[in-house]
Chain A
């Protein structure tokens, strides 16, 4: 995947083709990549001696068959979307935020800390504080990498990855020394106060209200990148840093801000996991959200409009995978292979489309 395109493919179109035709043409490689990825994985599953049809049926239908499945899917969707956006926003300026899980963990730790220390405060006060603590600490965490990048040109890929390891220790310290909960059975902090818990929508089982925040973030990101001067500068700086600088855009500053914003979203994801899912910060709560966030961001080609959609698809696969493992016995990791194959085939389709375009014209 090359640099993200400045004008998204789904931006207002020139009137050369009918919008519907354009959309179909744009979706075609996605559909093909999806079909191919499932086909190849099917061969692998069959080779392993499992029932392919049953495995796929489980993957696809789990999310929709029961309320629990759907709730789980939506709950997974929240951190996936936020981490994907936290990856794609710096990516728009050509910077790689590989620190999503560190930002999530630090955000979760700070959110849990606030939720524990001020456990007695009412929801109206405590909940915003918890969310704010997550956002700010995520921003600060990414800010370390951003500062090193802006000031000393330290490669942000290295610094964000390395900060992930530091974040494990931060959470470990909080979970075992500061607010440890021996009764939890795993390395985890104590539970936050009731006022720190996100209200539940619908149900039972229902989805925590963090989903609204994630939706809002996705919408705001789309509007900001497309319609504001700051977003334009972000895209310009990514498309051609030299031309952008010559035209008065401070590329390095834009990159620093983008990385900090990305970190803030990671921190927000951490706070929402604490307030909406676990009620505490737990070691290992980052799951494989970072990796999936990157895959989502790349499949969506950096488009803030498509990230939530792709994230939903990935969440379905993830939820279906654990169910598949339980019922059919296929290892849940198989789904990671499917996701990776989707991305690979999508990237291949770029190459192929390029060749075709050259041959046809």
Chain B
């Protein structure tokens, strides 16, 4: 607690002396990993309390302890000043604590109504009474959703509203939201924030977990910063700004680095054109077209068309961002561009060679490198060594072989060299890749991609789940690829990331490109409308 800026509750709201929730001295280890060390948190009535920190800072773990998903090794939780023991979500719910997870857990074939009442006793009015209460709650807090709609027909934003309604329906007085803005359009984010204001105005307290300083500054009354499993500081919204928050989150970084990290955090992109383009004012149209996609149609895993006549051109030294709400064909586009998913129609030309229909090996040899979204599932051989993983895809290349056999000595040598250049934290080339942290796995995947000297680099959500240092590392590599004359396609659900990196942005909706904007020539609301499927001419 030393050095922490302990501050009282937000001035205006003046919730008095009551403390709906205090957590103190919470420690939690997973095997050798200390996730929480003497962490604490204090909520005031009727505030939105931001809980920020980089990945692995312990935000979600702390809240999972609160919600009874993890049992803390030590520590104390008090609700309304009374010490409580929370052993399961059931206990938490009974104490008026509700949580909305990043991944929504719903029965998709149920209606909204059924999902909300699931796990509760229907109460006096039966289902009809429940429906009335849901409608009443959703009107009161602006959480527009039809109780009779089937959950799987709803957008991600609507499904999140269902989860919030569920928590409110159970009469929660503490609402925990874990990274709630992931996958929301800017408009939906605004709607969510308005609802949260209404919710806290009635005396409920909200914990808002985020790693984005900008959002936290937009909605929270007080902000607690976590780092390395501890609460480092709690600050009043009115007493801080983006840079201040970023430096608290990052801690040891200073000066110029902090501002770059702040940019990475999405600071300063509040509904306006983000950070200025790089100093050298590159002209993206100067390069030749390296990647030309036209009329591409492809199915998803269930045989349903996911891309419908998609066209895209990327030039040498250009980063093209693909924005969109998850599930609009991003995965399929990434896999088509990587030569993994077959196309039904259309062409994908790299440096003038049409690769549609060619085996993946030819795409690789033509210079396509792919950094998949799910790096554990698609990126690495978890049971293989680091050296195995760096060799993967290049096992038939002449320089890796001698007398027809794989030259393991050279491969290991090369791996050692790569580990050093990419600062991969691992005991060595023979360590199991599956034991690396997410950031180090991503470094490994990037190293492999760059080893191929790509003409086209395709990345999908390349910084998801990474800490700041690794995020920055990824951004630097993207810049490096661009500067080498590579054509970069960055598919991301993070508008801030896209704004920061992309020279040009296209919006993917329902498998089509529905809009295109040059850098600096858009605001995020405009993109949000496109992402939500509102046509240009509408």
Contacts and interface: CB of A to CB of B under 8 A. Distances in A.
Contacts of A249: 360-361, 393
Contact of B408 (A6, A227, A240, A243): A227
Contacts, number: 93
A229 B383 contact: no
- From B383, B391, B396, name the one whose CB has the most chain A CB atoms within 10 angstroms: B383
Contacts of B427: 14, 16
Contact of B383 (A5, A12, A227, A250): A5
Most buried by B among A7, A242, A248: A248
6 contacts: A5-B383, A236-B388, A240-B383, A243-B380, A244-B381, A358-B31
Interface string A236-248: 1001101111111
Given A239-B383, A240-B381, A245 B388 contact: no
B364 A14 contact: no
B383 A243 contact: no
A118 interface: no
A361 interface: yes
B405 A227 contact: yes
Given A236-B381, A239-B381, A243-B378, A14 B430 contact: yes
A243 to B, nearest CB: 6
Interface residues of A, number: 29
Contacts of A227: 405-406, 408
A7 B385 contact: yes
A358 B388 CA distance: 26
A13 interface: yes
A339 interface: no
A243 B404 contact: no
B428 interface: yes
Given A236-B381, A243-B392, A246-B340, 16 more contacts: A3-B383, A7-B384, A12-B430, A13-B430, A14-B431, A228-B406, A239-B381, A239-B383, A240-B381, A240-B384, A243-B378, A245-B340, A246-B379, A248-B364, A249-B393, A361-B32
Nearest to B377: A242
B359 A250 contact: yes
- The 7 lowest CB-CB distance pairs between A and B, nearest first, are A247-B393, A248-B361, A6-B384, A239-B381, A14-B430, A227-B405, A229-B395
Contact of A243 (B32, B381, B395, B428): B381
Contacts of B392: 236, 243-244, 247
B384 A239 contact: yes
A345 interface: no
Nearest to B403: A227
B370 interface: yes
B394 to A, nearest CB: 9
A6 B381 contact: yes
A246 B338 contact: yes
A232 B391 CA distance: 9
Of the listed residues A16, A223, A229, the one surrounded by the most CB atoms of chain B closer than 10 A to its CB is: A229
Contact of A236 (B32, B378, B384): B384
B38 to A, nearest CB: 21
Nearest to A2: B383
A228 B405 contact: yes
Given A14-B428, A232-B391, A236-B392, A247 B382 contact: no
A245 B378 CA distance: 9
B364 A232 contact: no
A7 B383 contact: yes
A111 B522 CA distance: 76
A245 B360 contact: yes
Interface string B362-375: 01100000101000
A354 B121 CA distance: 41
Contacts of A14: 427-428, 430-431
A257 to B, nearest CB: 15
A172 interface: no
Contacts of B361: 248-250
B101 interface: no
